[in-house]
Amino acid sequence: MRDPYKILGVPQDAGTDEIKAAWRNMAKAVHPDHNQGDPTATARFAEVGRAYETLKDPKKRSLFDTAARMAEARMNGETIMQQRQAAREAAVRAKAAQANAERVMEELARANAQKAAKAARQQHVSPESAEDMVERIFGAQAKAASASATPPRANAGKRTEAEAGKLEAEAVKPEEEGTETVAAAGILQPLSILTSLVRRFTGSAPAPEKAPDQFVQVTVTIEDILKGSWTTAQLGEGREASFALSAGTREGHQVRLKGHGYKLPNMQRGDAVVSIHIASDARFTVDGFDLRTVLPVTIENAVLGTEARIDGPNGPVDVTVPAWSGSDKTIRISGQGLPDDTGGKGDLIVELRIMLWEKPDDKVTDLMRSMREGLFL
């Protein structure tokens, strides 16, 4: 929604009475009954109503003021181009840090291998294995636990991931082993991770790790979601990815694009996670899979009931306003909302707003005074 202060033409420090008076004047000026030749009158009238609903409620007004200040601070702090440049520089620094870490670990691994090879030549023993390294640091019990955490290296290439997982799950069976095996089970998982890291930096890691997810946001319209249109996410550094908006898309919905995320040295490319933001619409507000709209109603039509036609997301929709309908009345039209993930659709919720005539009417004024003061003739 646009700035409600600008819509009503009031300053940000305007009082309640000033806001109410401005709303009445604007509502009368843009009322559809007095602008029948203007196809945008209903939308403008609804926008004025939403602006007043925001500013008359202290909580809603405070939330809008806070969001506006944060947006202004972001705009004053840095431009979009500066943000992109900062993101690129951060990615470069991350890549450099990753490369430096890899080089340090490779040097450590190479030095350790050279030292072990030299000791093997001198003492006629084989170089220190990953399990032996764990034993040297944490003891024989840790070696037994780490060895049971993974299948033997000679058969590692012949086993599937499911078999390896099964071996890990069955490596320790407390009911069949003694107290030493039970104790080893408590340190099985961290030591298996440690052993994997040792293998990786000594040159025997099976596969590179996956880079972290990259999070981006795209803005779409209500019409895009209804049509299932394709949208494109900008991933930075000239990269982009397109995908179709499927049923179940709503505000905050996330789409995971496999293999479209960050690419870091010695790591598998990560995924891109795209968060959906629905752009504001002059006709509707989004509430989950439901759409909400406002229908202005005069006093006589609210009391006597009437038939009206409004703009729905898929074309004109006929609405029956029951007699004695107040401004708290809502009319729900099934299947006129956004498509959900179960094969159905949300609803169109019509909120009634009772409006006075543009000019006072003496008879109506006398009637209201008589009803309030109890002077029934």
Q: Give the pLDDT means over successive 10-residue stretches in the chain (377 positions).
A: 84 89 86 80 85 87 81 61 71 76 74 76 59 60 52 44 43 41 42 52 63 92 93 90 93 93 86 94 93 91 92 92 90 94 93 85 83 68
pLDDT of res. 164: 42
The pLDDT value given to residue 138: 58
In the chain, where does DSSP find H-type helix?
Answer: 4-8, 16-30, 41-56, 58-77, 80-123, 130-138, 140-149, 161-170, 179-185, 188-201, 222-227, 299-304, 362-373
How high is the pLDDT of residue 167? 39
| pLDDT at residue number 368 | 83
pLDDT on residue 241: 92
pLDDT of residue 157: 43
pLDDT at 32: 81
CA 269/CA 189 separation, integer angstroms:
26
Question: What pLDDT is attached to residue 151?
Answer: 45
According to the model, what pLDDT value does residue 208 have? 74
**What gap in Å lies between CA 306 and CA 358, rounded to an integer?**
20
pLDDT value at position 375?
Answer: 57
Nearest to 18 by CA among 27, 10, 28: 10
Identify the pLDDT of residue 85: 73
Evaluate whether 220 touches 71 at the Cβ level (below 8 Å): no
209: phi then psi, degrees, rounded to nearest 5 = -75, 165
Which pLDDT belongs to residue 318?
Answer: 94
Residue 248 CB-density burial (10 A; 0-12 exposed, 13-18 middle, 19+ buried): middle
Which architecture, in CATH terms, is 212-278? Sandwich (2.60)
Q: Is 335 left (phi over 0), alpha (psi -120 to 50) or beta?
A: left
> Strands 285-287, 272-278: parallel, antiparallel or unpaired by DSSP?
unpaired
Separate counts of helices (H) and strands (E) for the chain = 13, 11
CATH-assigned architecture of domain 282-362? Sandwich (2.60)
Distance separating alpha carbons of residues 280 and 43, to the nearest angstrom: 13
For the chain, residues classed under CATH 2.60.260.20 are: 212-278, 282-362
> Residues 352, 321: contact at Cβ < 8 Å?
yes
